[in-house]
Structure formats: C-alpha cells, structure tokens
Structure 1
C-alpha cells in the first residue's frame, strides 16, 4: 500500500466528514484502526501431491477507521462511519489498493437508530457467538485460519454470522432496548456491491448480475436480549435473513441462526448455531444456488482477569449441498486454545494454538473421502489505534 495514497485518502475523507453540521459545533472526527499480525509454526498434512508451508506470517484486519459523530441541538446523535481496508500485498504495483469496505451514515435518538449505507445488517450486528480470547482471532469468522485445503480456500463455511448481504448498501433500523430486548430490521435492495454510478448517479438494471452474487431484495430480522440475573450476564439472539434469487434462478436463499453468551466472575461461555438453504458462500461471496447450504455450530469458554485472557473454543461446519455430489461430505472442525495479554494502549500479545481438520467430499470412482489435519502454534501481536 502506497503511503501517499493512504495519507491523501484519509486527509480528504476527514475533511469531508468534518464539514458543516446541523449543530452549534461540528461533528467530532476521529481516525483509528487496527492491524493483527502473527508468526506461526505449522504441521500440515499433504493434500494429494501438494505440501504446505511449515511457517507462516499473517498480516490481517488491516483497517483504517474514520468516524465523525456529534450531538445536534435537538438532542439527536448523527454520524458517519467509514472503514478503509488495505490490500494484502503492498509490495506489488498490481495488487496495492485501499478501498472503503464499509461507509454508512446514522441517526440515533429516543426512537432508536437508523443506519443507511454500506455496512453489516441487523442479523450480523446483533449476533452472539463463541468468545474470542486470542487477540484479533477466534474460531467463528477467523482472521487467521491455518489449515491445508484442496480448493485453496476453506472447504466449508467458517461463520455463524449472516453474510448474505454483508457490507452491501442497505437501510437498517434498531429499536430502543426495552426490558433488555432489542429488535433490528435491515433491507438490502441489491446484495451486489455496485460502484458509485449504480449507487447514486443512475439506476442499476433490475436483474443484471455484475458480480458472482445474484441476490437482491434481502430482508433481515433479528431479536436479542441483554441483561443480568443474580450476577450472571446474559446475552441471547435469534435471526432470519431471506433474499430473492435473480434472473429466474430456482432458489430461495435464506439463513437463520441463534447464539448466546453467559458471563460470570470473569468467565464467558458462548456458542451459536447457523443454517442456510439454497445459498452458497465461497471466497467471501454469497450466491443463490438450488440445494446448496451449510450447518455450523460453535462453543467456547473464556476467562479474563486484569490484562490476561485465556480460553478454548470449537467450531464444526458441515456442507449441506445435498444434490451436488462433488460437495457431499465436505466438513471442517477447528479447535483453538490460547490467550492474550494487554500491554496497554491497545497493544495485545497472545499465543494461538490451532488444530483444524478438513474433509473433502466424495471424489474419484469409486467415491471416497479424504481427511487431512493441520496443527499450528503462533505468537500474535495485535495493535488498535
């Protein structure tokens, strides 16, 4: 990533966000971000004739966060949240880039909160799952995943979060929290991430597929509860996401799931379950496909005291694409053990121990399954600023 490009983008954006506001004082602009790095020793099974690296340096969660927020004269809180994501190869002129992965505005008051723009939906934001205890990494939606793979990407889904319309332009509403309960709703007209012309200057063709994603009219509903009983902190959620398959594709993509956290005396026990139908998720993109799907569950326990955290977590994922022989039997299991120590000022170090097992689907003639393991141990350094 060129420093000149990053500096120019941040300064220009900060200037725009700090423009005139409907209040006696302008919105306050803050610039921050985070980077998670790790060095790992890896012992991975071969897949066919392919062997894998025995050491790994990971640089992930490369974000610059630009936020502007202020309280208006009428008591409403208004703001803008922009997340600038850096590329993973800044030494290559062909691969260096920085783009806004999320950019949205919001308005909050006694009525609740409205969000509009490119961000995650209500089902994602209100979800509870297994806790993260290694700085910047966990088993549910991991930043760092050390596993050998036949396809070059995880064999199956590694998340219990709703990802059908993640980061796409949407409108969301969150009710005030009443007696511990909160309801969230989101609507995404088009789950494809269009450029600025389609977003603002012209209308996009109704059923024109501009990317691998072929889903529109996505609706999300989520309900969660947060409260305390006898010193035990309780968090529970459930969600449903449904979309429309474009271009007459015979599919009804949907996701649903639930999660829970229990906290007491420094301990946090958490888990979640997720299921999808007529939905495929590969290489970071959701697409509508008949009889594709997945089932994922996770469970974890964390203990935190002072600057220390330790924990253990497990995630199990099964491919549920029943009518696709080459996908039948794909599955993945991940165990993580480790912890972290906060050095202060957003700087954390940690130990990350992972065991991952992937199973390929039915292959060859006669059909057979192949299973391969990966074990890794790494030192993680995570910095938030």
Structure 2
C-alpha cells in the first residue's frame, strides 16, 4: 500500500517543467524552537513541560512551485496515568472485559499505568505547493487535525479543544479530531477559493506513537487495536466580511480506519468512524467559538461511543487577554463522563514569551458498573510559553 503513495508524489513532481534546470543551491531555512511549562500547585503533577525543535527548508522554483521539507522533534512530561491523553480512567466491574476506545484512547481496565517523559519525531515530510494546492508525504498531522477550528483558549497546553498536558489526569474533553497522529501519510489540500479549502489524507498504517495521539500504546489489561487504511476528509472556511469586520473560521471533518484487533480480544472491533464540526467568530478584540466531535470508537457489539463539545470566549482589554472556556465529554467504552472549564487572563511578556494565569476544573463521573480512579481536580494553573 505504500508504493502507490510514493508513486503519486514522484509523478506530481517529475512532470513539472524546467525542474532539471533549476539552481538548487538556494534554499530558505527557518528554525523553530518552543517550550511550555505548566505549574499547578496542589495537583498530582505540579510541574509539567513541553519542548519542540523544528526546521523547514524550501526552494521556490522559477515557475512558482515551492518544494520543501519539514522536520520537528517534540518531548514532554505529562501526567503518568494519562500521558498523551490516553490512559485508564476507571476499573471495570468484576467479570467485565477491559475496554479501550480506538479513537479516544480512554480505557476501562484493571492495572496501574505510569508513563514517564517521552520524545517523538512527530514531523518529517516532503511537500510541494503551487497554484493547484499542496501535496505532503511523510510523518504529519492529518487534514482533520490541521483544519480543526473551535473554542478559543488562553492556554496552549491545557486548553479544552486541543489539550496537551493534564496536571490531574482528569481532562477527557477533546475536540480537535486527531485520528492518525503523526503517522506517515499522503495529504492533499486545495487552494483557498472564496474562503473555502478542502483536503484529504490517507495513512496506510496509523499505528504510530505520538505525544498527543498514541494508538500504538497497549494499556494494562487491554488488547492492542492497531489502525490501518485510515482516511480523512475535511473542509474549512476562513473569510473576513468587510462590512461588519467579522472574521469567520469554520471546519468540518470525517475520518475512518480499520481496527485490526487481536482475534483473542474480549471486545470486538470493526472500523472506527469520527465526525467533527467547529467554528469561531472574531471581531475587534473578541473571539467566540464552539466545537463538537463524535466517534463510534471502533467498538462493535456494545455501546462505546465517544463525544465531546467545547465553547469559549476571549476578550482583549486593559493590556490582557481575558477568557473562559467550558466543555463536556462522554466515553461509553471507558464508562466515564467529564466536565471541564478554564478561566483566566494572559499577556505577552516579550516578543517570544507569554504567561497565562487562571483556574482549571476537571471532574469525572463514572458509570454505575465502573469503579472510579483518583483522577481529576481543580486549582490554580500557570502556563509559561516560549517561542522563537
């Protein structure tokens, strides 16, 4: 299945005129470094971090085509029981099988989980961009994740729409539609026309570890559920209306993949399908938005759906960004419901440093046949982000 992907990329680039005559000695290279520190006094994990180092190098040909390569290495220390969002959130009833959602990664299973700091090569792809759109080949986010829109947040690592770090392990709200993570894939996106832009992605093997998406992780007591033949399609809209001055950003996406679970698995898996929609509106110093996603979690023969929604608003005033966001999620496979909210303020300290200060709340409610685990909590949160 990987050979057609390679042939598609080679065919696109090989047929372009005048490439052999180009001067390949002139390349533009951009380096990127970022770091995030989350401090949560009184939480299970009072200090968590996220680091990233990346490079993008490209060459603009005489005909306007841009050819390039992007690479990024990331590392983080997350909550040991919920590293990368996945993890065991409840114990099953006596005699009940252990269940893990193929999309959410949340599980109802026995046994402890303790994951330490991790580092991953999350980005390594070739790209060709021109008047007909962009083609990417390699380790990269899928179009559903790349196009995702939703509630604004003051936080970059503990937001509700796309959480990265979780001080108390109880944040199960997520709406950024990430099925394939950093798995190697081919993606095509169209140019933006009258505000609209479309895209498709295909990953032959999505069973790849990432920091925020990890279907390859086998939780204690659960069966492996590798994903293959994963396809995604997404449509985004981004347009500023001149008369009102309002900018609207919106996106919807659909994805599916085969779940190749072991025949001895106590739970039957089939295909996993997920749908999402999100939008936000920005005018002057205000942004308001919401998002929703739902997935069957790949589980067959029993209720295992995962769904989540978020809503939020941010406002710039008095030299600060002020904001509040709220979300809820339900995972039938893990037997848990979650409620979360964030509120606070933020401001840049320098051109490359920003600090956010606020209050977080993550509460889990468990099904009657599931035993709870000591996850979730509330308290002050301080987030410091550096970028260059």
Q: TM-score range by the shorter chain?
A: 0.7 to 0.9
The correspondence for 2:48, drawn from 50, 58, 71, is: 58
Among 264, 269, 281, which residue is 2:283 paired with?
A: 264
Question: 1:352 Cα shift?
Answer: 2.6
Partners of 2:173 and 2:340 within 8 A in 1: no
The 3-state SS of whatever aligns with 1:317 is strand
Instruction: Indicate whether 1:67 and 2:67 are aligned.
Output: no
Are the structure 2 counterparts of residues 240 and 305 from structure 1 closer, same or farther at C-alpha, using a change threshold of 3 Å?
same
- Please state how far the C-alpha of 1:77 moved relative to its aligned partner: 1.0
Residue by residue over 1:112-141, the C-alpha shift from the partner in whole angstroms, topping out at 9 and shown as x without a partner, is 001111111111111101112135441222
Q: Secondary structure at the match of 2:187?
A: strand
Contact kept? 2:297, 2:306, Cα under 8 Å: no
1:43-91 Cα offsets, whole Å, 9 max, x none, are xxxxxxxxx64x711212x1111211221222111221111123539xx
User: How far apart are residue 350 of structure 1 and its match?
Assistant: 1.6
CA distance in 2, matches of 1:185, 1:360: 37
Which residue matches 1:231?
A: 245
User: Among residues 176, 182, 186, which one is paired with 1:161 in the alignment?
Assistant: 176
Query: 1:97/1:133 Cα in 2 relative to 1: closer, same or farther (>3 Å)?
Result: closer
Aligned counterparts of 1:272 and 1:374: Cα–Cα separation in 2: 23
Cross-structure match for 2:97: none
- The answer to whether the aligner puts 1:190 opposite 2:205 as a matched pair is yes
Aligned to 2:232: 220
Helix, strand or coil for the counterpart of 1:124? helix
Following the alignment from structure 2 to structure 1, what is the Cα–Cα distance between the partners of residues 367 and 21? 56
Matched, 1:351 2:354: no
Are positions 1:78 and 2:67 aligned together? yes
Are 2:332 and 1:320 equivalent residues in the alignment?
A: yes
State the alpha-carbon separation in 1 of the partners of residues 301 and 61 from structure 2: 46
Question: Contact 1:139/1:315 (CA < 8 Å) preserved in 2?
Answer: yes
Aligned residue for 1:303?
A: 315
Distance 1:115 1:307 in 2: 40
1:355-370 matches, within 5 Å, as 355-363=361-369
Is 1:105 aligned with 2:126? yes
Are 1:134 and 1:310, in contact at CA under 8 Å, matched by a contact in 2? no
Distance 1:212 1:78, change over 3 A: farther
Match in the other structure for 2:340: 334
Secondary structure at the counterpart of residue 238 of structure 2: strand
- SS for the counterpart of 1:187 is strand
Cα distance between partner residues in 2 of 1:187 and 1:34: 29
* Distance of aligned partners of 1:231 and 1:95 in 2 relative to their CA distance in 1, 3 Å threshold: closer
The answer for the alignment partner of 2:98 in structure 1 is none
Equivalent pairs counted in the alignment come to 313
Distance change >3 Å, CA 21–CA 128, structure 1 → 2: farther
The CA distance in 2 between the partners of 1:187 and 1:144, in whole Å, is 28
Cα distance change of structure 1 residues 73 and 181 upon mapping to structure 2, 3 Å threshold: same
Q: Distance in 2 between matches of 1:69 and 1:372?
A: 45
Is 1:378 the equivalent of 2:381? Answer: yes
Which 5+ residue runs of structure 2 have no aligned equivalent?
1-19, 79-114, 210-222
Asked if the contact 2:24/2:59 (under 8 Å) is kept, the reply is no
The aligned runs of 1:270-309 (5 Å cut-off) are: 270-279=289-298, 291-304=303-316, 308-309=320-321
Give me the CA root mean square deviation.
3.0
The offset of 1:100, in angstroms, is 1.2
TM-score norm. by structure 2 comes to: 0.73
Unmatched runs of 5 consecutive residues or more in structure 1: 1-19, 43-51, 195-210, 281-287, 322-326
Whole-angstrom CA distance in 2 between matches of 1:254 and 1:244 = 9
Distance 1:226 1:24, change over 3 A: same
**Distance 1:193-1:146 versus aligned 2 partners, 3 A rule:** closer
